[in-house]
Structures are given as structure tokens and as C-alpha cells.
Chains A and B, each alone.
Chain A
Amino acid sequence: MKKNGSNGARLRPIHLLLALPFISILWVGFYNRAEPSVAGIPFFYWFQLLWIPLGALLLWQVYRAEDRGRGGPSL
């Protein structure tokens, strides 16, 4: 059997950044609390809302690193 399609995945250390949202979001016990609240918004809510831009920022970094490595298109 020819090794077909198993290559090309090319996972690099930079991709480990994308594990961060999974770790912080799936550890619900860490953020299932009201304090510290910000402007009356409990920790549970602002922590998760904060992870939306953080997640996007991490993806952007990985996107740029991939394209630098490949010499492909960038934003």
C-alpha cells in the first residue's frame, strides 16, 4: 500500500498555539465563577467573551507563520 495522503499535514510547533483555546475553554471549572467581575459582568461571561478575540489573534499568528514558511500569500 502506497503511503497516500498521510503527508502534507505538516504540523509545526506554531500549531500548538491552537491548543490554547481548547485548554482554557474546556477547563470549565477554572472560569465557572462570578469574581473577579468587570463592570458588573461576572468572570464566567467576560472570560469567555475575551477568548473570542484571543482565539482569532492566535489564528492570525498561525496564519502568518504558515505563509512565511511557505512563501505563499499573506493578508
Chain B
Amino acid sequence: MNGGVNIAALSVFVLLFVFVTVLGFVAARWRKGDLTQLTEWGLGGRRFGTVVTWFLLGGDLYTAYTFIAVPALMFGAGATGFFAVPYTILVYPILFLCYPRLWSVAHARGYVTAADFVRGRFGNRALALAIALTGIVATMPYIALQLVGIEVVIAALGVQGEWALFIAFAVLAAYTYTSGLRAPAMIAVVKDVLIYVTVIAAIVFIPAELGGYAKIFASVGAGKLLLAPATHTNWGAESAYATLALGSALALFLYPHAMTAILSSSSRHVIRRNAVVLPAYSFALGLIALIGFMAIAAGVKDNPAFAEGFRQYGNNFAVPALFLQMFPSWFVGVAFSAVAIGALVPAAIMSIATANLFTRNIYREYMAPDCEPARESQVAKIASLMVKVGALFFIVALPQSYAIQLQLLGGIWIIQTLPAVLIGLYTRWFHPWALLAGWATGIASGTAMAASLNFAKSIYAVTIFGVTIPCYAALSSLLLNLIVSVALSAAFNAISSSRKDETLASDYV
């Protein structure tokens, strides 16, 4: 970051980038299907087996932003940043128990999105629209954040200006358009290999250089090493940590991009098996989080060569700085392309998922009810382009903090679809209008909590009987959502309990 371009690193980076680009276009021919059908373009024909789904979900959930932001949080805030680990421990039992049912009903009824399911289950267009819009709005800033990952590593390579980001994005848009979900599925394999190579190198090579793990942890200040302990009147950082982990775990698979990856698998057993084997990524994530502490031990912040990077990107520059300081130049190229390619995979899946939602639940539902399947697929392709242009605009035209704040809100918003989608898998006792009222309550209260914290944090302190309990706003607003949904359902059901449920009990198993 002395202003000079890192030639060796840049060459490796460009080479790997060109390789995945070719792969992205070739993917159209892989397990060839009729790409003018939305299930083919947007769900890969529901044909992905256990291995492909493992790579796809891994590439989808453990994003480049995670690899930059989680260690950055550890670097800046300490132990709190480690919440990503308990979060991913709790997410897999939920995936294992609930989502095979969603796969089954989606397969039986041809659903492509969560809103499709809600529409079929509750027969209510307004509720389905709310679910679809929540998904779209929550995902857009998430795509923008993936770009931050690319932006940081491109800057760290010494390339000036935003043109490189534009090229990366144009390439991404082009192969997503032509190949659909097959492109990220194939590229995810490369991404994961690169990530694992980088992580293994980082956890073996860097601690050896820094004098071992004991030294690394010793260099972290006492205030950062553990959470502030709870007291009788304030549960403090501990309850924040637990609620963050639980709330994030409940929200994760409600995100459209996660849903898309689940629905693209070839059977419900693929999902069950993946819940067992996906934790391998969590382990990598846990080790990646510790890279933040390695950056503290290596003293990257005091290195004048990185001052400009930290000024521009804040703590998000910690990981790139550590790699630049510790790795030989060519390997920096490998590590940085792992981050950049790690951004392309989720960005592609997210834009496909949002496009599916727009096409199925807004375009076909409200604008062109009897559109041909080919037209549907065409609209989705164009929508995926628009979504990416929107995300690019976000990053280039607005301050980066907007995308971060909106992504934080996105987590609070998407969890409000839990009663309709997740509980809806088990019962149709809830009344659709009650669910809609609960959803609105959750969105409004969650947003208000975040607003009271100036959208900078999502931990809102609730005081019950004189005890202060800091709680992830997504979880407390979900509780309000559930209370309203249950109370109003009881009332509405007393008046009329008729349902327009098109699904059968046998669709779920």
C-alpha cells in the first residue's frame, strides 16, 4: 500500500479471476437444462447433490464479507466478534429439523421462493408480497457488502480507482445472466479450495512467525480477550452475545440466497446430510476469526505502510494488511483472490434469489399473471442485472456505512418472516392477516430500536424488573411479532377459521 502496484500478487489475482470467469460461462453447459425455464436458470433444475450443495451453501453463507468483517470485529472489538462461531453452531440443528420440510413442499408444489410457499399455504396475496419484499430489501445491501470485500482487496493490491470493481462486476453480471445458478455452483468449488488453502496457511504459518498461539492471545488486551461479565442488574455483553448468535441463526436460512441454495438441491436428504457436513466451514470461520487477533499481535496498525488503508477502510483493512505483511507476494495474490472470488459466489446467488422473488411474487403475481415460462425466465435474468447495478450504485455513490447499516437492518427485517415461513411449515393455525400484522409490528419495532441506536448497533437494552438485558433487536422484535401474531390469530380464528391452503400434509414429508 505504498502507492505501488504489487505485480506478483496482482498477476496471480488476475490469472485466478480469468479462470473463474471462463468457468462461469462454461457452467451453462454443465448438467445441461433448458435455461429458458425459471427452475433451470434460478434453481439449477433442482438437481444439485450433496457435494455440489455443500460447496454452493458454503460459498453462499461464508461470504467474503464474513472473511473480512469477522476478523475486523475481533481486531477492533475483541471477543464479541467471535459470536459468528456460536451462530454457526446453532444454525445447523435448525437447518436439519425445519428445512427438509420446506424442500419437500416446494418440490411437490413447484415453489421457487419462500413467498411462493406462503402464498400457497395461507392463500393470501398481501402476506406473500410482504414476504417477497422483505427478502428483496434485506438482500440488496448484502450484495453491496460483497463488493466492499472486493474493493478492499483491490485497493490492497495497489490498484487505484473504481474501474477494477466495474470490470469484476460486469463479468459477474454476464455469467450470472447466461448460466444462472450453475455459475456460482461451479465457481464455489474454486472459491472453497482457495479459502481453505489460505486459512491453513494463515493458521500454520502466521502463528509460527508470531511465536505461537499463547503469544498471540497474550498480545490481546484483557478487555478484548473475554466478554464483560454479567452482573445482577445488567446482563451486559454476555446476553448480547447469546442473543446475537441465536437471532442470527434463526434468520440465516430465511434469507432468499440461502433458500435458493436449499431449494436447488435434489432431495430433502441432501439438506439433512449438509446440516451434518457444513460445520466444516464453521471451523474454518472460527480460525478466520482468530486472524483478527493475529493482526493485533503482528501490530499491523502501527505499520506506516498500512496507514492509508486503515484510514480508508477502517478495521476491514486488518486482514489484507496482515497478509501483505506476513505472506510472500505471490501468495498474497492467492489469498486476495480467495476473498474476491468469495464475494462473487454469494453476490451471484443473492442476485438470482432476489430476481426469483421479483419475477415470481411481483411480476407474475401482479403485472403479468399469465406470462409464459420463457418470459418468466427472461424477466428474472434482467432483474438479476438490475439488482447488481443497484448494488454497485450503492457502493460507488453512497458512503460505505449506509450498506453496513442497511445490512444490519436487513437481519432485523428478514427474521420477521419466521412465523409465516418457518412456523407455517408446521401449522396453519396462524391467520394470514394476523401474520401480516405481526410482521408489520416486528419490522416497525425492530427498525425503531435500531434507529434509537443511530443504526450503528443492533443491541438494544431491554429493562425487565430492574435488570438490564441487552438483546439483539431482531430477537426482541421477533418476540413482539409472535405475540401479535398469536393474539390476533386467536381473535380472527374465532370469527372465521376458513383457509385457502393448497398444500397437503403429505407434501411436507
Q: Which residues of A contact B (CB under 8 A)?
A: 1, 3-9, 15, 18, 21-22, 25-29, 32-34, 37, 39-42, 44-45, 48-49, 51-53, 55-56, 58-60, 62-63, 66, 72-73, 75
Contacts and interface: CB of A to CB of B under 8 A. Distances in A.
Contacts of B506: 8
B279 A26 contact: no
Interface residues of B, number: 59
A63 B504 CA distance: 25
Contacts of B227: 28, 32, 44
Nearest to A8: B509
A30 B246 CA distance: 17
Contact of A25 (B86, B286, B499): B86
Given A28-B239, A40-B212, A52 B90 contact: no
29 contacts: A1-B499, A4-B428, A4-B499, A4-B505, A5-B427, A5-B501, A6-B429, A7-B505, A8-B101, A8-B509, A18-B96, A21-B89, A25-B242, A27-B242, A28-B239, A28-B241, A28-B242, A44-B79, A44-B225, A44-B226, A45-B82, A48-B85, A48-B286, A53-B279, A53-B283, A56-B280, A62-B96, A63-B96, A73-B269
B452 interface: no
B290 interface: yes
Contacts of B275: 59, 63
B96 to A, nearest CB: 6
A27 to B, nearest CB: 8
Given A5-B428, A29-B238, A56-B279, A34 B272 contact: no
Interface string B360-399: 0000000000000000000000000000000000000000
A72 B104 CA distance: 15
B98 to A, nearest CB: 10
A59 B426 contact: no
Contacts of B229: 29, 32
B499 A49 contact: no
Contact of A6 (B214, B217, B277, B426): B426
A29 to B, nearest CB: 6
Contact of A55 (B89, B218, B504): B89
B245 interface: yes
Contacts of A3: 505
A29 B286 CA distance: 20
B273 A48 contact: no
Q: Which 7 A-B pairs have the closest CB atoms?
A: A40-B214, A28-B238, A56-B279, A18-B93, A8-B509, A25-B86, A59-B276
B266 interface: no
B213 A39 contact: yes
Query: Mostly helix, strand, loop or mixed at chain B's interface?
Result: helix
Contacts of B447: none
B281 to A, nearest CB: 9
Contacts of B242: 25-28
Contacts of B233: none
B5 interface: no
> In the complex, which of the residues A21, A26, A58, A73 has the most CB atoms of chain B within 10 Å of its own CB atom?
A26
Nearest to B214: A40
Nearest to A17: B93
B508 interface: yes
B92 interface: yes
B400 interface: no
Contact of B217 (A8, A41, A72): A41
Contacts of B245: 25-26
A49 B269 contact: no
B339 to A, nearest CB: 22
Nearest to B506: A8
B97 A18 contact: yes
B215 interface: yes
Given A1-B499, A21-B90, A59-B92, A52 B276 contact: no
B473 to A, nearest CB: 18
A34 B269 CA distance: 40
B217 A63 contact: no
A75 to B, nearest CB: 7
A22 to B, nearest CB: 6
A49 B85 contact: yes
Contacts of B226: 32-34, 42, 44
Contacts of A58: 93
Nearest to A5: B505
B132 to A, nearest CB: 22
A52 B97 contact: no
B160 interface: no
